[in-house]
Amino acid sequence: MKTLSLIVPVFNEQEVLRTSYERMKATMESLDYGYEIIYVNDGSRDDTLVQLREIAAQDKKVRVRSFSRNFGHQLAVTAGMDIAKGDALIIIDADLQDPPEVIPELVKAWENGADIAYGKRAKREGETFMKKFTAACYYRLLSFMSAYPIPLDTGDFRLIDRKVADMFLQMREHNRFLRGMSAWMGFNAVPVEYVRHERFAGKTKYTLKKMLKLAFDGITGFSDKPLSISTALGTGICFIAGLGLIALIVCAIAAGVPSWLWAVDGIVMLQGITMLLMGIQGAYMNRMYDELKGRPLYIIGEEINID
């Protein structure tokens, strides 16, 4: 029998954990698969770990990894992926914003051949206008910046096939943006629309600082555009200063030009050259960064008659 691994990162979720466990358990039982539920406790300071110990004592399908401190949601999910044994892995938030009842739909997409079935938020309930607005802007900025299409309005709620999970095991970069890595890998990715509910209880554990870091990791990990801003700007400025120089020469021949104008043009030109050189350095840094990330050079989706 094929098995599913449910991966649930938890950070200070004492208000939701029990209910969340019961609903997830009921969903997993309703499917015709073996399963495990992996909780990764991301350094909770409340009763979460105590509750997890109780749940795991009664339910042998529940496995728990507990961090020594808070490492952040993306690393918690990664730690779950690292020990998951399933033929497919499902990543889900503990707070029931991603309804466990959508899991059977993700599984169905997988049965129909999807390697990645990602939850796409058709609607977001109970989130502030500000959160929805900034999220909408960010996703669009990211997809403009990124060389690989990162689907709009998706989070980490998704099912991934074993072969995708194995690729995640090979990508050990530190500043992780899982949904970007997933998009970068390609494979047959299929959206499954769902309504994102309100948090069941408790408050968001994603502070503004954590959210900004994730947003920045998304851009720096999947786009080299920021590094080439300098090149573009420097080239533009040099061009304008060059035109200025021609204009100055013409004016000098015709009528004589005040000396400070030469100085201004010289400064602008130098500034442009500096930026251009910075951009060139950026290009080398970008290449070093690529090497440092140590991602696999390519990913094979399928092989036939290869031994």
Contact footprint for ligand UDP (CB under 6 A): 9-11, 13, 42, 70, 72-73, 76, 93-95, 97, 204-206, 210
CB of 294 to Mg ion, least distance (A): 31
Q: With respect to ligand UDP, which residue has the nearer C-beta, 61 or 213?
A: 213
* Contact status, residue 117 vs residue 110, Cβ threshold 8 Å: yes
Q: With respect to ligand UDP, which residue has the nearer C-beta, 42 or 161?
A: 42
* Contact status, residue 158 vs residue 91, Cβ threshold 8 Å: yes
Q: Find which of ligand UDP, Mg ion, none residue 36 binds, CB within 5 to 8 Å per kind.
A: none
Query: Which tokens is 107 given?
Result: 């599984």
13, 36, 42, 95: residue in contact with Mg ion (rule CB under 5 A): 95
CB of 37 to Mg ion, least distance (A): 18
Q: Give whole-number Cα distances, 297 to 148, 289, 300, in Å.
A: 15, 14, 10
Q: With respect to ligand UDP, which residue has the nearer C-beta, 39 or 187?
A: 39
Cα-flanking dihedrals φ and ψ of residue 268, to 5°? -60, -45
Query: Which tokens is 133 given?
Result: 């607005």
H/E segment holding residue 41:
strand 34-41
Q: Find which of ligand UDP, Mg ion, none residue 94 binds, CB within 5 to 8 Å per kind.
A: ligand UDP
Which sign, positive or negative, has the C-alpha torsion 275, 289, 189, 24? negative
Q: Find which of Mg ion, ligand UDP, none residue 20 binds, CB within 5 to 8 Å per kind.
A: none
Q: Which amino acid is at 8?
A: V
Q: With respect to ligand UDP, which residue has the nearer C-beta, 134 or 281?
A: 134
CB of 155 to Mg ion, least distance (A): 9
97, 146, 154, 230: residue in contact with Mg ion (rule CB under 5 A): 97
Please calculate the CA angle 283-209-287 and round it to the nearest 5 degrees: 15
CB of 76 to ligand UDP, least distance (A): 4
Query: Which tokens is 51 given?
Result: 């509750």
* Contact status, residue 37 vs residue 67, Cβ threshold 8 Å: no
User: Per this entry, what is the length of the chain?
Assistant: 307
Q: With respect to ligand UDP, which residue has the nearer C-beta, 28 or 227?
A: 28
Binding mask 64-93 for Mg ion (x = CB under 5 A): -----------------------------x
CB of 95 to Mg ion, least distance (A): 4
**CB neighbourhood size of 203 (10 A):** 9
CB of 135 to Mg ion, least distance (A): 12
Q: With respect to ligand UDP, which residue has the nearer C-beta, 81 or 276?
A: 81
Q: Which residues does residue 35 pair with via DSSP β-bridges, in sequence order?
A: 4
**CB neighbourhood size of 81 (10 A):** 21
Residues that bind Mg ion (CB under 5 A): 93, 95, 97
